[in-house]
């Protein structure tokens, strides 16, 4: 989503997580494309808010499109949230995937890929204003070393998200938060976190909500500590699904109350579609 675009739905706005809610790894969760199509037909605006910063925005939109879910202009990422914490005049070391590099560059800042820095004999740690760390599967000691050198020279530490893990079709994998923790521990600095449930992502989502009231917005997620806490920060309803990392329970979890819950996104869609009142406060539902 562009920084100036706003989104409004006749019925309301659904903000949905991706990993564990729409897909697991490369596999779409059964029935989700059809449920999203039905919601949109009924006047709901369905958008996606993800802590996945590893890939470019267009790649995430394409992945959804290939699964039968049109999504161009409907995806917000933690890479964009992290970039919002950077001034256009700053220089950034990106210890991340291409999603962060793209977002920081779009912000107007100068960004150096840590992979390029490894082969640059003129690399100067003191020239960097910030180190942004996001999910990247080629994480290694040398990347940590370069990032640490910048942090010790005065750069601030920004993390795209603090998710410890994320779900795939083959099991649970380490998340971006696990990588960021190594930079925090090595530098003994606190990281400013950008993605859900933190303020940078919340400000981005609020700016895109247009005139749709909080009472007609709902966050669908699989992690109460991330998605549920994010809904609470936004002051909107929360719908918990059991298709991701959280073990099924009655709730609340980590103090997060569930307004809706279901095995998958499809169950949440069915409940929202069955409501005959298009103006009721979604936050009044209790599960």
pLDDT at 122: 95
Residue 178, number of CB atoms within 10 A of its CB: 16
Q: What are phi and psi of 112, to 5 degrees?
A: -115, 125
Residue 52, number of CB atoms within 10 A of its CB: 25
What confidence tier does 4 reach under pLDDT thresholds 50, 70, 90?
very low
Beta bridge partners of 110: 91
CA distance linking residue 28 with residue 48, whole number of Å: 14
Same domain, 38 and 102: no
The b/e string for 154-173 (b: 16+ C-beta within 10 A; e otherwise) is ebbbbbbbbbbbbbeeeeee
Record the tokens describing residue 179, joined without a space: 């990588």
> Where are the alpha helices (H) located in 119-223, listed in sequence order?
141-152, 176-187, 199-208
Check: CB of residue 50 under 8 Å from CB of residue 81. Answer: no
Q: What are phi and psi of 89, to 5 degrees?
A: -85, 0
- Domain of residue 24, residue span: 12-78+197-284
Q: pLDDT tens digit string along 240-274?
A: 999 876 666 666 677 788 999 999 999 999 999 99
Q: Which of 139, 165, 193 lies at the terminal end of a domain, its last residue?
A: 193
| CATH, residue 164 | 3.40.50.1000
pTM (two decimals): 0.92
Residue 12, number of CB atoms within 10 A of its CB: 25
Same domain, 85 and 154: yes
On the CB side of 53, CA atoms within 13 Å amount to 37
**Range of weakest confidence among 14-23, 133-142, 212-221, 240-249:** 240-249
Average pLDDT on 171-199 reads: 96
Same domain, 74 and 88: no
Q: pLDDT tens digit string along 75-130?
A: 999 999 999 999 999 999 999 999 999 999 999 999 999 999 999 999 999 999 99
Q: pLDDT tens digit string along 19-37?
A: 999 998 899 999 999 999 9
Domain count for the chain, please give it: 2
Does residue 6 fall inside a structural domain? no
């Amino acid at each position: 989503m562009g920084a100036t675009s706003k989104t409004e739905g006749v019925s309301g706005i659904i903000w949905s997580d991706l990993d564990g809610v729409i897909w697991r790894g490369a596999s779409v969760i059964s029935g989700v494309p059809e449920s999203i199509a039905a919601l949109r037909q009924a006047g709901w605006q369905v958008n996606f808010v993800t802590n996945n910063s590893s890939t470019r925005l267009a790649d995430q939109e394409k992945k959804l499109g290939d699964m039968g879910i049109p999504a161009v202009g409907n995806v917000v990422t933690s890479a964009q949230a992290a970039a919002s914490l950077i001034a256009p005049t700053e220089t950034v070391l990106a210890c991340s995937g291409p999603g962060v590099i793209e977002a920081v560059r779009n912000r107007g800042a100068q960004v150096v890929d840590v992979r390029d820095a490894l082969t640059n004999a003129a690399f100067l740690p003191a020239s960097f204003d910030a180190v942004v760390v996001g999910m990247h599967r080629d994480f290694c000691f040398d990347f940590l070393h370069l990032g640490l050198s910048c942090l010790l020279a005065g750069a601030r530490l920004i993390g795209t998200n603090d998710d410890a893990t994320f779900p795939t079709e083959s099991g649970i994998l380490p998340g971006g938060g696990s990588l960021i923790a190594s930079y925090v521990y090595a530098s003994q600095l606190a990281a400013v976190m950008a993605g859900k449930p933190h303020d940078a992502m919340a400000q981005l989502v609020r700016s895109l909500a247009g005139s749709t009231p909080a009472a007609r917005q709902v966050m669908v997620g699989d992690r109460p500590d991330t998605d549920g806490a994010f809904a609470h920060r936004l002051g909107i309803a929360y719908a918990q699904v059991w298709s991701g990392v959280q073990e099924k329970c009655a709730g609340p979890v980590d103090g997060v109350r569930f307004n809706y819950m279901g095995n998958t996104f499809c169950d949440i869609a069915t409940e929202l579609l069955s409501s005959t009142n298009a103006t009721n406060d979604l936050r009044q539902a209790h599960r």
